[in-house]
Amino acid sequence: MKKLSLILVFSLVMLVNTQFVQATGENTPEIKSESAVMIDAKTGDILYQKNSSEQMYPASITKIITGILAIESGKLDDSVVVSSDAVRAEGTRVYLMEDEQVPLKKLVQGLLINSGNDAAVAIAEYLAGDVDSFADQMNAFAKKVGAENTHFVNPNGLFDEEHYTTAEDMAKITQYAMKNEEFREIVSTKELPWVGEGWETTLRNHHQLLWDYPGTIGVKNGYVDESKHTLVTAVSRDNLDVIIVTLKAPTSRAAYWDTMALGDYGFANFERQTLTSGTKIEALNGETYPLKEDLSVTLPKGEEPVQEVSSDGELQLKDSNGNVLLTHTLFKEREKEATATIDNKSVEEVDSTFMQSVVKTGIFLYSGLLLLLAFLVILRMRSQKHKHKKMRQVARSYVK
């Protein structure tokens, strides 16, 4: 182990001296892993990729999913009775004994720090009843975080043709897991005393870069013959947090070398930029809209995000190559149309009400005029009748 550490330190020195990447984005490192990806752990923006969507066998980095599912179950204080199937698990173990009672949290620590396959089976059986049912939970979780090209059949990563993932999917899964403080604490633990019925020792984290690469937080390495060497690493440095996944590296040294090379490339070339809440964005209609929240994207140093606002109110932040880094609803066109419709309806209603009032007033005045005319006619008729009566009386006086 010391020899490996010396090799890694020497490799790091050589990398810094001969492969340091300039901020111009040139000299992208050549890596030996068949598949790899590096993302910003905060924004999810892809900073580097090589065959990142090709399906590969993950080996023990599978345990990242098992670990976060156990932590999110809320049962870390529960006591788990170890089954005979768990004890017989192949590969790396923490040497659990049948019927041994172990706290779930301790099993997660043995899973993520020492890569215990027996701990993985014990966790799966406790949380889901059996391995197959737990695999169903793992697949549901993968879909939830957007890992669409992933399928699991066991909790520990032992080889199965139907057990596969991609570098991009593992980055998404790890990005989710690293938001959990309990998970971060466990995967960053370098050494842990272990006292069990079948084994008493000090566990040493299998992720060597916790000692050899500044800023490393964890998280997990893996190996089976079919997958070769797999490695997932979270590194935080210089106000940038990255997740690096390398799959099917020919050797352990190559996996670590590739990870350090990608890390140096990322920290030398990229920075996270934030448009703060309240920043005014101009839309195509000429109006400006303030952001209601902070928006962050990761770009090559010195590059500004390209802002585009669609006619339906979607703000897109793109890099210089036109790749969409972030989409945000600036305003909702339908809401504007609905508001306009409501306003139009209001105007129409006002117009309609006004016209109704005019009509009613006209009818009232017309009715009043008719009544007045009728009254005048009646008065005239009564006057004429009275005049005729008087004339008849006068006529009678002449007759006499």
Catalytic residues: 60, 63, 115
Place of tokens 């001969």: 18
Instruction: Determine the distance from the C-alpha atom of residue 352 to the mean position of all C-alpha atoms in its chain, rounded to a whole number.
Output: 50
CB atoms within 10 A of CB 48: 20
The answer to whether 168 touches 158, Cβ cutoff 8 Å, is: no
Using only C-alpha atoms, the chain has a radius of gyration, in whole angstroms, of: 39
- Give the largest CA-CA distance in the chain: 162
Within 13 Å, how many C-alpha atoms sit on residue 299's CB side?
Answer: 21
**Which contacts qualify for 327-331: CB closer than 8 Å, 24 or more apart?**
328/291, 328/295, 330/281, 330/283, 330/289, 330/291, 331/283, 331/289
The answer to whether 265 touches 235, Cβ cutoff 8 Å, is: no
Terminal alpha carbon distance of the chain: 159
